[in-house]
């Protein structure tokens, strides 16, 4: 799930009208637009706009360049569209409010087109208060990770996992947006899949790197990190989703294969030795029979 937020200085009406003009708004069984609200009472657009304007009077910083509200967007991969029920999205929106701050005014609508997403308008100041709803970039980054973790744990949307940590096999926010925009995977995502497939099929580190070489990828090592070169660009294996522990499992596989081969060789040698003994016994019996 991608979570984006941007400050806005325009009128509340401009965003509300923009959010409601889409033809693919989620509707309930009665045909009414599904609306997410927190600290907002009204249902009609003009009523909602009036509530935000009334709350704006409490805002402490009223300079011309000050933000009046933020436009937040939660979006999901189109392949998970069939799983995105009203209850699921409303629950994630409520979780976002819990993480972002329950003192603010929130108004949102769900778009169910090719790329499903939730638009949210969040007041710049708390409800009937001059306290600001502004948060730091670090706090917002933490909220994205917390919301992502909640979604993964609760709903397990397989295609909407975004790599906010920089350590998982999931695509990054930037890569996922590129795939959504173009319909094609980024080169980094392609390399991630190549490396993963090579790791799963290799029985040793040498075989792993040979497989990558056959793909036109040249391995390199710098200090304790290892990676590959693709068109003169370097990519660390850790960046491509392969941890050092996973790389070291190749050494364990090699040791296990070597041990198995040693056991098989030992069994084959013993079997041949026993066969030689049996043949020697038969020859001895034949000699005894001839003596008789």
The answer, yes or no, to whether residue 135 has pLDDT greater than 70, is: yes
Closest by CA to 212, choosing from 187, 239, 193, 233, is: 193
Q: Provide the pLDDT for residue 168.
A: 47
Q: Is the pLDDT of residue 76 over 90?
A: yes
The CA distance from 243 to 192, in Å, is 12
**pLDDT number for residue 243:** 82
Measure Cα distances from 196 to 91, 192, 240 in Å: 34, 6, 8
Its CATH architecture, for the domain 2-154, is 2-Layer Sandwich (3.30)
Is the model more confident about 26 or about 262? 26
Phi–psi pair at 219, nearest 5 degrees:
-70, 155
178-215 as b/e, with b when 16 or more CB fall inside 10 Å?
A: beeeeeebbebbebbebbeebbeebebbebbbebbeee
Rounded Cα–Cα distance for residues 180 and 170 (Å): 14
Question: Would you mind telling me the total number of residues written for the chain in this entry?
Answer: 292
pLDDT at 160 over 90: no
Mean of pLDDT over the chain: 84
Mean per-residue pLDDT, 124-134: 95
* Domain extents in the chain: 2-154, 185-267
pTM attached to this predicted model: 0.60
CA atoms within 13 A on the CB side of 277: 6
Return the minimum-mean-pLDDT range out of 96-100, 195-199, 230-234, 265-269. Answer: 265-269
Distance, CA of 218 to CA of 40 (rounded, Å): 58
Residue 141 has pLDDT above 80, yes or no: yes
Q: Considering only CA atoms, which of 100, 103, 135, 113 is closest in space to residue 38?
A: 103
Higher pLDDT, 239 or 171: 239
């Amino acid at each position: 799930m991608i979570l984006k937020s941007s400050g806005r200085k325009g009128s509340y009406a401009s965003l509300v009208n923009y959010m409601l003009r889409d033809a693919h708004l989620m509707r309930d069984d009665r045909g009414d637009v599904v609306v997410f609200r927190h600290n907002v009472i009204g249902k009609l657009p003009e009523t909602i706009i009036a509530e935000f304007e009334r709350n704006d009077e409490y805002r402490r910083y009223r300079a011309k360049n000050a933000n009046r509200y933020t436009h937040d967007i939660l979006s999901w991969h189109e392949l998970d569209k069939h799983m995105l029920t009203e209850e699921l999205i409303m629950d994630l929106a409520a979780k976002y409010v819990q993480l972002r701050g329950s003192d603010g005014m929130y108004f949102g609508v769900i778009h169910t087109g090719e790329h499903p997403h939730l638009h949210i308008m969040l007041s710049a100041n708390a409800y009937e208060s001059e306290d600001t709803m502004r948060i730091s970039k670090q706090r917002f980054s933490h909220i994205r990770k917390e919301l992502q973790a909640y979604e993964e744990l609760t709903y397990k949307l397989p295609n909407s996992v975004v790599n906010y940590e920089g350590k998982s096999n999931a695509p990054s926010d930037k890569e996922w947006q590129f795939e959504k925009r173009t319909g094609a995977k980024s080169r980094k995502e392609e390399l991630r899949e190549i490396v993963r497939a090579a790791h799963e099929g290799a029985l040793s580190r040498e075989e792993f790197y040979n497989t990558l070489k056959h793909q036109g990828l040249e391995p390199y090592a710098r200090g304790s990190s290892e990676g590959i070169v693709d068109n003169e660009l370097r990519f660390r294996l850790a960046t491509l989703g392969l941890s050092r522990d996973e790389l070291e499992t190749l050494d364990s596989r090699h040791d296990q294969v070597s041990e198995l081969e040693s056991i098989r060789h030992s069994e084959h040698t013993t079997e041949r030795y026993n066969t030689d003994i049996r043949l020697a016994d038969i020859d001895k019996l034949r000699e005894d029979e001839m003596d008789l």
